Protein backbone atom coordinates (compact mmCIF):
# COMPACT_ATOMS: atom_id res chain seq x y z
CA UNK A 1 0.00 0.00 0.00
CA UNK A 2 1.47 3.36 -1.06
CA UNK A 3 1.60 5.86 1.80
CA UNK A 4 0.30 9.35 0.97
CA UNK A 5 1.47 12.59 2.54
CA UNK A 6 0.18 15.83 0.99
CA UNK A 7 3.46 17.59 1.80
CA UNK A 8 5.67 14.86 0.36
CA UNK A 9 3.45 14.56 -2.70
CA UNK A 10 3.59 18.32 -3.27
CA UNK A 11 7.38 18.37 -3.04
CA UNK A 12 7.55 16.34 -6.26
CA UNK A 13 6.28 19.33 -8.27
CA UNK A 14 8.88 22.10 -8.76
CA UNK A 15 6.53 24.67 -10.29
CA UNK A 16 4.36 24.74 -7.17
CA UNK A 17 7.19 26.52 -5.36
CA UNK A 18 7.12 29.38 -7.86
CA UNK A 19 6.55 32.92 -6.59
CA UNK A 20 4.80 35.58 -8.67
CA UNK A 21 5.34 39.19 -7.60
CA UNK A 22 6.62 37.81 -4.27
CA UNK A 23 3.42 35.82 -3.76
CA UNK A 24 3.37 32.06 -3.57
CA UNK A 25 1.55 30.56 -6.55
CA UNK A 26 -1.74 28.90 -5.67
CA UNK A 27 -2.65 26.70 -8.61
CA UNK A 28 -6.35 25.86 -8.74
CA UNK A 29 -6.66 25.20 -12.49
CA UNK A 30 -5.95 21.48 -12.49
CA UNK A 31 -8.96 20.57 -14.64
CA UNK A 32 -7.29 22.50 -17.46
CA UNK A 33 -3.90 20.84 -16.92
CA UNK A 34 -2.03 19.38 -13.98
CA UNK A 35 1.52 20.22 -12.94
CA UNK A 36 4.35 17.79 -13.70
CA UNK A 37 6.45 15.91 -11.13
CA UNK A 38 10.23 16.07 -11.24
CA UNK A 39 10.53 12.49 -12.49
CA UNK A 40 8.56 13.40 -15.63
CA UNK A 41 10.67 16.48 -16.28
CA UNK A 42 13.82 14.39 -15.89
CA UNK A 43 12.48 11.72 -18.23
CA UNK A 44 11.94 14.23 -21.04
CA UNK A 45 15.46 15.59 -20.59
CA UNK A 46 16.92 12.06 -20.37
CA UNK A 47 15.28 11.03 -23.63
CA UNK A 48 16.80 13.93 -25.55
CA UNK A 49 20.20 13.45 -23.94
CA UNK A 50 20.52 9.67 -24.24
CA UNK A 51 17.80 8.14 -26.46
CA UNK A 52 16.83 10.66 -29.13
CA UNK A 53 16.00 8.80 -32.33
CA UNK A 54 12.93 7.97 -34.34
CA UNK A 55 11.09 4.79 -33.41
CA UNK A 56 10.41 1.60 -35.43
CA UNK A 57 12.37 2.88 -38.44
CA UNK A 58 16.02 1.98 -38.03
CA UNK A 59 18.25 -0.83 -36.87
CA UNK A 60 20.80 1.28 -34.99
CA UNK A 61 21.29 1.38 -31.22
CA UNK A 62 19.53 4.69 -30.48
CA UNK A 63 16.46 3.75 -32.46
CA UNK A 64 16.30 0.44 -30.65
CA UNK A 65 16.53 2.22 -27.28
CA UNK A 66 13.87 4.76 -28.23
CA UNK A 67 11.53 2.10 -29.65
CA UNK A 68 11.85 -0.04 -26.54
CA UNK A 69 11.01 2.92 -24.27
CA UNK A 70 8.16 3.97 -26.58
CA UNK A 71 6.53 0.53 -26.55
CA UNK A 72 7.14 0.06 -22.82
CA UNK A 73 5.07 3.21 -22.33
CA UNK A 74 2.25 1.67 -24.35
CA UNK A 75 2.33 -1.43 -22.16
CA UNK A 76 2.17 0.73 -19.02
CA UNK A 77 -0.89 2.52 -20.34
CA UNK A 78 -2.47 -0.84 -21.19
CA UNK A 79 -1.97 -2.02 -17.62
CA UNK A 80 -3.06 1.35 -16.19
CA UNK A 81 -6.50 1.09 -17.79
CA UNK A 82 -6.57 -2.73 -18.00
CA UNK A 83 -6.90 -2.95 -21.78
CA UNK A 84 -6.78 -6.47 -23.20
CA UNK A 85 -3.83 -5.82 -25.49
CA UNK A 86 -1.35 -3.12 -26.48
CA UNK A 87 -3.00 -3.32 -29.92
CA UNK A 88 -5.91 -1.50 -28.28
CA UNK A 89 -3.80 1.46 -27.13
CA UNK A 90 -3.42 4.15 -29.81
CA UNK A 91 -1.21 7.21 -29.28
CA UNK A 92 -2.78 10.56 -30.21
CA UNK A 93 -2.12 14.23 -29.39
CA UNK A 94 -4.84 14.27 -26.75
CA UNK A 95 -8.46 13.56 -25.92
CA UNK A 96 -9.62 15.87 -28.71
CA UNK A 97 -7.70 14.05 -31.43
CA UNK A 98 -8.81 10.69 -30.03
CA UNK A 99 -12.47 11.71 -30.40
CA UNK A 100 -11.86 13.13 -33.86
CA UNK A 101 -10.16 9.88 -34.89
CA UNK A 102 -13.16 7.82 -33.86
CA UNK A 103 -15.73 10.23 -35.28
CA UNK A 104 -14.01 10.33 -38.68
CA UNK A 105 -12.72 6.78 -38.96
CA UNK A 106 -15.81 5.11 -37.55
CA UNK A 107 -18.58 7.65 -38.00
CA UNK A 108 -18.24 8.15 -41.73
CA UNK A 109 -18.38 4.39 -42.40
CA UNK A 110 -20.68 3.27 -39.61
CA UNK A 111 -23.44 5.85 -39.96
CA UNK A 112 -26.16 6.29 -42.58
CA UNK A 113 -28.90 8.86 -43.03
CA UNK A 114 -31.55 8.60 -40.35
CA UNK A 115 -29.21 7.22 -37.68
CA UNK A 116 -28.77 8.97 -34.34
CA UNK A 117 -25.80 9.92 -32.15
CA UNK A 118 -26.42 10.47 -28.44
CA UNK A 119 -24.42 12.99 -26.37
CA UNK A 120 -25.20 14.75 -23.09
CA UNK A 121 -25.83 18.37 -22.13
CA UNK A 122 -22.60 18.57 -20.15
CA UNK A 123 -20.13 17.57 -22.87
CA UNK A 124 -16.93 19.44 -23.66
CA UNK A 125 -16.86 20.99 -27.14
CA UNK A 126 -14.32 18.32 -28.11
CA UNK A 127 -17.04 15.71 -27.66
CA UNK A 128 -19.68 17.73 -29.48
CA UNK A 129 -18.24 19.42 -32.55
CA UNK A 130 -16.59 16.33 -34.13
CA UNK A 131 -19.94 14.54 -33.98
CA UNK A 132 -21.77 17.58 -35.36
CA UNK A 133 -19.44 17.60 -38.36
CA UNK A 134 -20.04 13.90 -39.00
CA UNK A 135 -23.79 14.26 -38.44
CA UNK A 136 -23.99 17.06 -40.98
CA UNK A 137 -22.09 15.04 -43.58
CA UNK A 138 -24.08 11.86 -43.06
CA UNK A 139 -27.58 13.22 -42.45
CA UNK A 140 -27.53 11.97 -38.88
CA UNK A 141 -29.47 13.40 -35.91
CA UNK A 142 -27.83 14.23 -32.57
CA UNK A 143 -29.92 13.59 -29.48
CA UNK A 144 -28.99 14.91 -26.06
CA UNK A 145 -29.31 13.32 -22.63
CA UNK A 146 -30.50 15.90 -20.04
CA UNK A 147 -29.04 16.40 -16.56
CA UNK A 148 -30.39 16.03 -13.05
CA UNK A 149 -30.29 18.97 -10.63
CA UNK A 150 -27.13 17.39 -9.22
CA UNK A 151 -25.33 17.73 -12.57
CA UNK A 152 -25.24 14.06 -13.60
CA UNK A 153 -26.77 12.54 -16.71
CA UNK A 154 -30.49 11.96 -16.17
CA UNK A 155 -31.23 8.34 -17.05
CA UNK A 156 -34.95 8.47 -16.30
CA UNK A 157 -35.81 8.69 -20.00
CA UNK A 158 -32.78 6.84 -21.35
CA UNK A 159 -34.76 4.15 -23.15
CA UNK A 160 -36.46 6.77 -25.31
CA UNK A 161 -33.30 8.72 -26.14
CA UNK A 162 -31.03 5.70 -26.71
CA UNK A 163 -33.19 3.66 -29.06
CA UNK A 164 -33.05 1.44 -32.12
CA UNK A 165 -31.88 4.38 -34.26
CA UNK A 166 -28.91 5.09 -31.99
CA UNK A 167 -25.58 4.02 -33.45
CA UNK A 168 -23.05 5.89 -31.28
CA UNK A 169 -23.23 7.14 -27.68
CA UNK A 170 -20.41 9.52 -26.65
CA UNK A 171 -20.40 10.89 -23.09
CA UNK A 172 -17.97 12.12 -20.48
CA UNK A 173 -17.13 9.93 -17.50
CA UNK A 174 -16.93 13.14 -15.44
CA UNK A 175 -17.95 16.64 -16.52
CA UNK A 176 -15.09 19.15 -16.74
CA UNK A 177 -17.39 21.81 -15.26
CA UNK A 178 -19.70 20.00 -12.84
CA UNK A 179 -17.22 17.52 -11.37
CA UNK A 180 -19.88 14.81 -11.08
CA UNK A 181 -19.39 11.16 -12.04
CA UNK A 182 -21.93 10.14 -14.64
CA UNK A 183 -23.76 6.79 -14.51
CA UNK A 184 -21.77 5.52 -17.47
CA UNK A 185 -22.33 1.84 -16.67
CA UNK A 186 -26.07 2.33 -17.10
CA UNK A 187 -25.55 4.27 -20.33
CA UNK A 188 -23.16 1.64 -21.72
CA UNK A 189 -25.55 -1.19 -20.86
CA UNK A 190 -28.45 0.59 -22.53
CA UNK A 191 -26.35 1.27 -25.65
CA UNK A 192 -25.47 -2.44 -25.88
CA UNK A 193 -29.13 -3.41 -25.78
CA UNK A 194 -29.80 -1.41 -28.94
CA UNK A 195 -26.50 -2.32 -30.64
CA UNK A 196 -24.92 1.14 -30.31
CA UNK A 197 -21.19 1.73 -29.83
CA UNK A 198 -19.97 3.74 -26.84
CA UNK A 199 -17.16 6.26 -26.44
CA UNK A 200 -16.31 7.51 -22.96
CA UNK A 201 -14.43 10.81 -22.56
CA UNK A 202 -12.20 10.14 -19.57
CA UNK A 203 -10.21 13.38 -19.62
CA UNK A 204 -11.39 14.45 -16.15
CA UNK A 205 -11.76 10.96 -14.67
CA UNK A 206 -8.28 9.64 -15.39
CA UNK A 207 -6.53 11.54 -12.57
CA UNK A 208 -9.09 10.63 -9.93
CA UNK A 209 -10.57 7.20 -10.59
CA UNK A 210 -9.30 3.68 -11.22
CA UNK A 211 -10.23 2.96 -14.83
CA UNK A 212 -10.87 -0.61 -15.98
CA UNK A 213 -12.00 -0.54 -19.59
CA UNK A 214 -12.71 -4.26 -19.69
CA UNK A 215 -14.97 -4.02 -16.67
CA UNK A 216 -16.73 -0.98 -18.12
CA UNK A 217 -17.03 -2.84 -21.43
CA UNK A 218 -17.11 0.43 -23.37
CA UNK A 219 -16.01 0.34 -27.00
CA UNK A 220 -13.72 3.37 -26.75
CA UNK A 221 -12.16 5.26 -23.83
CA UNK A 222 -10.12 8.45 -24.40
CA UNK A 223 -7.95 10.70 -22.23
CA UNK A 224 -4.95 13.06 -22.21
CA UNK A 225 -1.65 12.58 -20.40
CA UNK A 226 -1.48 16.19 -19.26
CA UNK A 227 -4.65 15.81 -17.19
CA UNK A 228 -2.96 13.15 -15.05
CA UNK A 229 0.39 14.86 -14.22
CA UNK A 230 1.92 13.87 -17.56
CA UNK A 231 3.30 15.88 -20.50
CA UNK A 232 1.21 17.84 -22.96
CA UNK A 233 0.75 16.67 -26.54
CA UNK A 234 0.01 13.03 -25.68
CA UNK A 235 -3.36 11.34 -25.72
CA UNK A 236 -4.65 7.81 -25.56
CA UNK A 237 -7.39 6.16 -27.55
CA UNK A 238 -8.43 2.80 -26.17
CA UNK A 239 -10.57 0.86 -28.61
CA UNK A 240 -11.67 -2.75 -28.75
CA UNK A 241 -9.39 -4.60 -31.14
CA UNK A 242 -12.19 -6.07 -33.22
CA UNK A 243 -13.72 -2.64 -33.83
CA UNK A 244 -10.39 -0.93 -34.55
CA UNK A 245 -9.64 -3.56 -37.17
CA UNK A 246 -12.79 -2.59 -39.08
CA UNK A 247 -11.96 1.14 -39.08
CA UNK A 248 -10.14 3.06 -41.80
CA UNK A 249 -7.09 5.17 -40.81
CA UNK A 250 -7.82 8.71 -39.68
CA UNK A 251 -4.57 10.14 -41.07
CA UNK A 252 -2.14 8.75 -43.59
CA UNK A 253 1.60 8.95 -44.11
CA UNK A 254 4.62 7.21 -42.67
CA UNK A 255 4.42 4.44 -40.07
CA UNK A 256 0.76 3.61 -40.65
CA UNK A 257 1.37 1.78 -43.93
CA UNK A 258 2.52 -1.72 -44.82
CA UNK A 259 3.05 -1.25 -48.57
CA UNK A 260 2.72 1.74 -50.91
CA UNK A 261 2.72 1.54 -54.71
CA UNK A 262 1.61 3.67 -57.63
CA UNK A 263 0.46 0.51 -59.37
CA UNK A 264 -1.14 -1.60 -56.63
CA UNK A 265 -3.47 -0.70 -53.74
CA UNK A 266 -1.72 0.67 -50.66
CA UNK A 267 -2.02 -1.61 -47.62
CA UNK A 268 -2.10 -0.47 -44.02
CA UNK A 269 -0.06 -1.47 -41.01
CA UNK A 270 -1.36 -3.67 -38.22
CA UNK A 271 -2.75 -2.32 -34.95
CA UNK A 272 -1.91 -0.10 -33.19
CA UNK A 273 0.34 1.46 -35.85
CA UNK A 274 -2.44 1.78 -38.43
CA UNK A 275 -3.69 4.88 -36.60
CA UNK A 276 -0.30 6.44 -35.78
CA UNK A 277 0.75 8.34 -38.90
CA UNK A 278 4.01 10.30 -38.79
CA UNK A 279 6.50 10.80 -35.99
CA UNK A 280 4.85 10.72 -32.59
CA UNK A 281 5.61 12.95 -29.63
CA UNK A 282 8.19 10.39 -28.57
CA UNK A 283 9.83 12.22 -25.67
CA UNK A 284 6.49 12.95 -24.00
CA UNK A 285 5.22 9.40 -24.55
CA UNK A 286 8.38 8.00 -22.93
CA UNK A 287 7.95 10.48 -20.07
CA UNK A 288 4.31 9.46 -19.70
CA UNK A 289 5.54 6.01 -18.71
CA UNK A 290 7.31 7.66 -15.76
CA UNK A 291 4.10 9.54 -14.98
CA UNK A 292 2.22 6.26 -14.69
CA UNK A 293 4.96 4.76 -12.50
CA UNK A 294 4.62 7.80 -10.25
CA UNK A 295 0.85 8.21 -10.03
CA UNK A 296 -0.59 4.70 -10.44
CA UNK A 297 0.15 3.55 -6.88
CA UNK A 298 -1.59 6.65 -5.50
CA UNK A 299 -4.72 6.47 -7.66
CA UNK A 300 -5.17 2.70 -7.62
CA UNK A 301 -3.73 1.64 -4.27
CA UNK A 302 -3.68 4.49 -1.74
CA UNK A 303 -6.86 4.95 0.30
CA UNK A 304 -5.30 8.03 1.92
CA UNK A 305 -4.78 9.66 -1.49
CA UNK A 306 -8.41 9.35 -2.57
CA UNK A 307 -9.65 10.26 0.92
CA UNK A 308 -7.54 13.43 0.94
CA UNK A 309 -9.06 14.44 -2.41
CA UNK A 310 -12.53 13.94 -0.98
CA UNK A 311 -11.67 15.91 2.15
CA UNK A 312 -10.30 18.97 0.36
CA UNK A 313 -13.25 18.85 -2.05
CA UNK A 314 -15.74 18.87 0.83
CA UNK A 315 -13.81 21.56 2.68
CA UNK A 316 -13.57 23.85 -0.35
CA UNK A 317 -17.25 23.32 -1.14
CA UNK A 318 -18.30 24.12 2.44
CA UNK A 319 -16.11 27.22 2.62
CA UNK A 320 -17.37 28.56 -0.70
CA UNK A 321 -20.96 27.82 0.34
CA UNK A 322 -20.47 30.01 3.42
CA UNK A 323 -19.77 33.10 1.28
CA UNK A 324 -22.76 35.31 0.66
CA UNK A 325 -23.42 35.55 -3.06
CA UNK A 326 -21.80 32.26 -4.09
CA UNK A 327 -24.15 30.07 -6.15
CA UNK A 328 -23.03 26.63 -7.30
CA UNK A 329 -24.18 25.73 -10.78
CA UNK A 330 -25.39 22.30 -9.65
CA UNK A 331 -26.52 20.92 -6.33
CA UNK A 332 -24.36 18.85 -4.00
CA UNK A 333 -20.66 18.38 -3.34
CA UNK A 334 -18.75 17.38 -6.50
CA UNK A 335 -17.39 13.84 -6.82
CA UNK A 336 -13.97 15.09 -7.89
CA UNK A 337 -12.37 18.40 -6.83
CA UNK A 338 -13.90 20.53 -9.59
CA UNK A 339 -16.12 23.26 -8.13
CA UNK A 340 -17.98 25.71 -10.38
CA UNK A 341 -19.94 28.70 -9.15
CA UNK A 342 -20.95 32.30 -9.77
CA UNK A 343 -20.55 35.25 -7.41
CA UNK A 344 -23.56 37.53 -7.30
CA UNK A 345 -22.82 41.07 -8.47
CA UNK A 346 -19.40 40.18 -9.87
CA UNK A 347 -18.52 39.20 -13.42
CA UNK A 348 -16.79 35.82 -13.61
CA UNK A 349 -13.73 37.26 -15.37
CA UNK A 350 -13.45 40.02 -12.78
CA UNK A 351 -13.36 37.45 -9.99
CA UNK A 352 -10.71 35.38 -11.81
CA UNK A 353 -8.54 38.42 -12.52
CA UNK A 354 -8.89 39.64 -8.94
CA UNK A 355 -7.86 36.24 -7.61
CA UNK A 356 -4.93 36.29 -10.03
CA UNK A 357 -3.77 39.53 -8.39
CA UNK A 358 -3.54 37.48 -5.16
CA UNK A 359 -1.47 34.83 -6.96
CA UNK A 360 -4.41 32.42 -7.20
CA UNK A 361 -4.95 30.68 -10.54
CA UNK A 362 -8.57 29.74 -11.30
CA UNK A 363 -10.52 29.68 -14.55
CA UNK A 364 -13.55 31.70 -15.64
CA UNK A 365 -15.76 31.49 -18.71
CA UNK A 366 -17.73 28.78 -20.46
CA UNK A 367 -14.96 26.15 -20.06
CA UNK A 368 -15.48 24.83 -23.61
CA UNK A 369 -19.01 23.85 -22.61
CA UNK A 370 -21.24 26.50 -24.20
CA UNK A 371 -24.23 24.13 -24.57
CA UNK A 372 -24.04 23.41 -20.84
CA UNK A 373 -24.02 27.14 -20.05
CA UNK A 374 -27.05 27.58 -22.31
CA UNK A 375 -28.76 24.63 -20.60
CA UNK A 376 -28.12 26.20 -17.19
CA UNK A 377 -29.10 29.68 -18.48
CA UNK A 378 -25.83 31.28 -17.40
CA UNK A 379 -23.15 33.02 -19.47
CA UNK A 380 -20.29 31.31 -17.67
CA UNK A 381 -18.90 30.53 -14.25
CA UNK A 382 -15.79 30.42 -12.09
CA UNK A 383 -14.11 27.03 -11.82
CA UNK A 384 -11.82 26.03 -8.97
CA UNK A 385 -10.17 22.68 -9.62
CA UNK A 386 -7.90 21.09 -7.04
CA UNK A 387 -5.33 18.31 -6.98
CA UNK A 388 -3.84 16.35 -4.07
CA UNK A 389 -0.86 18.71 -3.99
CA UNK A 390 -3.19 21.55 -2.97
CA UNK A 391 -3.61 22.36 0.71
CA UNK A 392 -6.23 23.54 3.18
CA UNK A 393 -4.13 26.67 3.70
CA UNK A 394 -4.32 27.51 0.00
CA UNK A 395 -8.10 27.09 0.09
CA UNK A 396 -8.29 29.43 3.09
CA UNK A 397 -6.25 32.08 1.25
CA UNK A 398 -8.64 31.89 -1.70
CA UNK A 399 -11.69 32.08 0.55
CA UNK A 400 -10.30 35.17 2.29
CA UNK A 401 -9.57 36.72 -1.11
CA UNK A 402 -13.17 36.13 -2.23
CA UNK A 403 -14.43 37.66 1.01
CA UNK A 404 -12.31 40.71 0.17
CA UNK A 405 -13.78 40.84 -3.31
CA UNK A 406 -17.31 40.68 -1.91
CA UNK A 407 -16.59 43.46 0.59
CA UNK A 408 -14.81 45.57 -2.07
CA UNK A 409 -11.66 45.78 0.04
CA UNK A 410 -9.58 44.95 -3.02
CA UNK A 411 -10.50 48.28 -4.57
CA UNK A 412 -9.22 50.43 -1.76
CA UNK A 413 -5.65 50.56 -0.63
CA UNK A 414 -4.84 52.92 2.22
CA UNK A 415 -1.45 53.54 0.67
CA UNK A 416 -2.83 55.02 -2.57
CA UNK A 417 -5.40 57.55 -3.72
CA UNK A 418 -8.03 55.09 -4.88
CA UNK A 419 -10.96 57.24 -3.75
CA UNK A 420 -9.65 60.23 -5.68
CA UNK A 421 -9.00 58.09 -8.76
CA UNK A 422 -12.60 56.92 -8.84
CA UNK A 423 -13.77 60.51 -9.10
CA UNK A 424 -11.52 61.20 -12.08
CA UNK A 425 -13.55 61.53 -15.25
CA UNK A 426 -12.61 59.82 -18.48
CA UNK A 427 -12.07 63.21 -20.13
CA UNK A 428 -9.20 63.88 -17.72
CA UNK A 429 -7.50 60.57 -18.45
CA UNK A 430 -4.92 60.92 -21.22
CA UNK A 431 -2.49 58.52 -22.78
CA UNK A 432 0.43 60.32 -21.10
CA UNK A 433 -1.25 60.31 -17.70
CA UNK A 434 -1.86 56.56 -17.94
CA UNK A 435 1.75 55.88 -18.94
CA UNK A 436 3.01 58.09 -16.10
CA UNK A 437 0.75 56.40 -13.55
CA UNK A 438 1.60 52.85 -14.60
CA UNK A 439 5.34 53.61 -14.69
CA UNK A 440 5.17 54.17 -10.94
CA UNK A 441 3.21 51.01 -10.17
CA UNK A 442 5.03 47.89 -9.05
CA UNK A 443 3.50 44.41 -9.13
CA UNK A 444 0.54 42.94 -10.94
CA UNK A 445 -1.79 43.31 -7.95
CA UNK A 446 -1.35 47.11 -8.02
CA UNK A 447 -1.63 47.26 -11.81
CA UNK A 448 -4.77 45.16 -11.62
CA UNK A 449 -6.25 47.52 -9.01
CA UNK A 450 -5.51 50.50 -11.24
CA UNK A 451 -7.15 48.84 -14.25
CA UNK A 452 -10.27 48.17 -12.18
CA UNK A 453 -10.32 51.80 -11.03
CA UNK A 454 -9.98 53.01 -14.62
CA UNK A 455 -12.98 50.85 -15.48
CA UNK A 456 -15.07 52.92 -13.10
CA UNK A 457 -14.41 56.02 -15.19
CA UNK A 458 -15.81 54.55 -18.40
CA UNK A 459 -19.09 56.08 -19.50
CA UNK A 460 -21.36 53.10 -20.11
CA UNK A 461 -23.26 52.65 -23.35
CA UNK A 462 -27.00 52.59 -23.00
CA UNK A 463 -28.56 49.19 -23.56
CA UNK A 464 -29.94 50.16 -26.97
CA UNK A 465 -26.37 50.72 -28.17
CA UNK A 466 -25.15 47.31 -27.02
CA UNK A 467 -26.02 45.87 -30.40
CA UNK A 468 -24.51 43.00 -32.36
CA UNK A 469 -23.01 45.43 -34.87
CA UNK A 470 -20.88 46.93 -32.08
CA UNK A 471 -19.91 43.59 -30.51
CA UNK A 472 -16.15 43.02 -30.44
CA UNK A 473 -15.35 39.59 -31.86
CA UNK A 474 -12.42 37.81 -30.19
CA UNK A 475 -12.85 39.35 -26.74
CA UNK A 476 -13.34 36.74 -24.01
CA UNK A 477 -16.13 38.76 -22.36
CA UNK A 478 -18.99 40.50 -24.11
CA UNK A 479 -17.74 43.96 -25.10
CA UNK A 480 -19.12 46.60 -27.42
CA UNK A 481 -17.31 49.35 -29.33
CA UNK A 482 -19.01 52.29 -31.04
CA UNK A 483 -16.94 54.41 -33.42
CA UNK A 484 -18.12 57.77 -34.76
CA UNK A 485 -16.35 60.07 -37.21
CA UNK A 486 -16.39 63.79 -36.42
CA UNK A 487 -16.52 66.74 -38.81
CA UNK A 488 -12.76 67.20 -38.30
CA UNK A 489 -12.13 63.65 -39.56
CA UNK A 490 -11.16 62.45 -36.10
CA UNK A 491 -12.79 59.54 -34.35
CA UNK A 492 -14.84 59.43 -31.18
CA UNK A 493 -14.82 56.01 -29.52
CA UNK A 494 -17.17 54.76 -26.82
CA UNK A 495 -17.35 51.26 -25.41
CA UNK A 496 -18.77 49.01 -22.74
CA UNK A 497 -18.49 45.56 -21.15
CA UNK A 498 -20.12 43.74 -18.29
CA UNK A 499 -16.69 42.84 -16.92
CA UNK A 500 -14.97 45.55 -14.89
CA UNK A 501 -11.51 44.36 -15.94
CA UNK A 502 -12.48 44.70 -19.62
CA UNK A 503 -13.91 48.19 -19.00
CA UNK A 504 -10.58 49.20 -17.50
CA UNK A 505 -8.70 47.83 -20.50
CA UNK A 506 -11.12 49.66 -22.79
CA UNK A 507 -10.25 52.93 -21.08
CA UNK A 508 -6.57 52.23 -21.71
CA UNK A 509 -7.18 51.54 -25.41
CA UNK A 510 -9.61 54.41 -25.92
CA UNK A 511 -7.18 56.88 -24.37
CA UNK A 512 -4.68 55.93 -27.07
CA UNK A 513 -7.07 56.36 -30.02
CA UNK A 514 -9.80 58.82 -29.08
CA UNK A 515 -9.69 62.09 -30.99
CA UNK A 516 -7.17 60.86 -33.57
CA UNK A 517 -7.42 60.70 -37.33
CA UNK A 518 -7.32 57.45 -39.26
CA UNK A 519 -3.68 58.06 -40.17
CA UNK A 520 -2.73 58.80 -36.55
CA UNK A 521 -4.46 55.61 -35.43
CA UNK A 522 -2.66 53.66 -38.12
CA UNK A 523 0.73 55.07 -37.11
CA UNK A 524 0.30 54.55 -33.36
CA UNK A 525 2.38 51.62 -32.04
CA UNK A 526 0.00 49.96 -29.64
CA UNK A 527 2.38 47.12 -28.65
CA UNK A 528 4.93 49.67 -27.44
CA UNK A 529 2.18 51.38 -25.44
CA UNK A 530 1.11 48.11 -23.77
CA UNK A 531 4.75 47.30 -23.07
CA UNK A 532 5.26 50.63 -21.30
CA UNK A 533 2.27 49.85 -19.12
CA UNK A 534 3.67 46.40 -18.24
CA UNK A 535 0.41 44.67 -19.10
CA UNK A 536 0.88 41.90 -21.61
CA UNK A 537 3.22 39.78 -19.51
CA UNK A 538 0.56 39.62 -16.79
CA UNK A 539 -2.64 39.32 -18.77
CA UNK A 540 -3.83 35.84 -19.72
CA UNK A 541 -3.40 34.97 -23.41
CA UNK A 542 -7.15 35.18 -23.92
CA UNK A 543 -7.36 38.59 -22.30
CA UNK A 544 -4.28 39.74 -24.18
CA UNK A 545 -5.98 38.55 -27.34
CA UNK A 546 -9.05 40.48 -26.23
CA UNK A 547 -6.94 43.63 -26.10
CA UNK A 548 -5.70 42.93 -29.59
CA UNK A 549 -9.25 42.23 -30.75
CA UNK A 550 -10.30 45.68 -29.54
CA UNK A 551 -7.37 47.27 -31.36
CA UNK A 552 -8.00 45.31 -34.56
CA UNK A 553 -11.66 46.31 -34.49
CA UNK A 554 -10.68 49.98 -34.29
CA UNK A 555 -8.12 49.74 -37.08
CA UNK A 556 -10.48 47.80 -39.30
CA UNK A 557 -13.31 50.29 -38.80
CA UNK A 558 -11.57 53.67 -39.12
CA UNK A 559 -10.76 54.82 -42.65
Q: What is the pLDDT of residues 374-410, one digit of tens each?
A: 999 999 999 999 999 999 999 999 999 999 999 875 4
Question: For the chain, how many residues are written?
Answer: 559
Query: What's the topology of domain 89-280?
Result: 3.40.640
Closest among 507, 323, 342 to 431, alpha carbons compared: 507
* CA pair distance 327, 338, nearest whole angstrom: 14
* CA pair distance 509, 515, nearest whole angstrom: 12
Region(s) of the chain under CATH 3.90.1010.10: 417-557
Q: What does the radius of gyration of the chain's CA atoms come to, in whole angstroms? A: 26
pLDDT score for 408: 72
Architecture of domain 6-29+302-409: Alpha-Beta Complex (3.90)
The model's pLDDT over 242-256, given as tens digits with 9 standing for 90+, comes to 999 999 998 888 888
* CATH hierarchy code of domain 417-557: 3.90.1010.10
pLDDT score for 162: 98
The model's pLDDT over 264-321, given as tens digits with 9 standing for 90+, comes to 998 888 899 999 998 999 999 999 999 999 999 999 999 999 999 999 999 999 999 9
* CA pair distance 322, 402, nearest whole angstrom: 11
Region(s) of the chain under CATH 3.40.640.10: 89-280
Question: pLDDT-based confidence at 416, cuts 50/70/90?
Answer: very low
Q: Which residues pair with 169 in a beta bridge?
A: 118, 198
Burial class (CB in 10 A: 0-12, 13-18, 19+), 101: buried
The model's pLDDT over 484-526, given as tens digits with 9 standing for 90+, comes to 989 888 999 999 998 888 899 899 999 989 889 999 998 888 8
pTM tops 0.75? yes
Window from 3-7, 404-408, 471-475 with minimum mean pLDDT: 471-475
* CA pair distance 130, 118, nearest whole angstrom: 13
Region(s) of the chain under CATH 3.90.1150.10: 6-29+302-409
Active site residue 381: no
User: 117 and 141 in contact (C-beta within 8 Å)?
Assistant: yes
Task: List, in order, residues 6 or more apart from 198 with CB less than 8 Å away.
Answer: 168, 169, 170, 171, 187, 188, 191, 192, 218, 219, 220
What does the mean pLDDT of the chain come to?
Answer: 91
Residue among 316, 368, 381, 475 flagged as catalytic: 368
Sign of CA dihedral 85, 87, 93, 94: negative
User: 493 and 514 in contact (C-beta within 8 Å)?
Assistant: yes
Amino acid sequence: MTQFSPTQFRNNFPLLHLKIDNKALIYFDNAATTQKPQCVLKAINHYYQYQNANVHRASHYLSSEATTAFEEAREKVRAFINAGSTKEVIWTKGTTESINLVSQSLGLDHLTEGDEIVLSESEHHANIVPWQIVAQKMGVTIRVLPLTKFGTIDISNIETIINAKTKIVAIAHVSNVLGKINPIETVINRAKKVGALTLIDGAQAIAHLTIDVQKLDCDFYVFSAHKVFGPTGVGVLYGKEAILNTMQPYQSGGEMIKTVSFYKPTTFNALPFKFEAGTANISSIVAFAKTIDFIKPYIQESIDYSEYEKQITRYCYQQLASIKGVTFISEGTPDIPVLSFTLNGHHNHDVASMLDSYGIAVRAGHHCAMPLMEYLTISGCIRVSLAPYNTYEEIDIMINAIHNIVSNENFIDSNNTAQENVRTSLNEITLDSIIEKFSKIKGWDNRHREIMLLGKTLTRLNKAERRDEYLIKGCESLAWLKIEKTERNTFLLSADSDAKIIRGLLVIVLSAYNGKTAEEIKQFTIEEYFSKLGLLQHLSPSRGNGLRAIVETIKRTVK
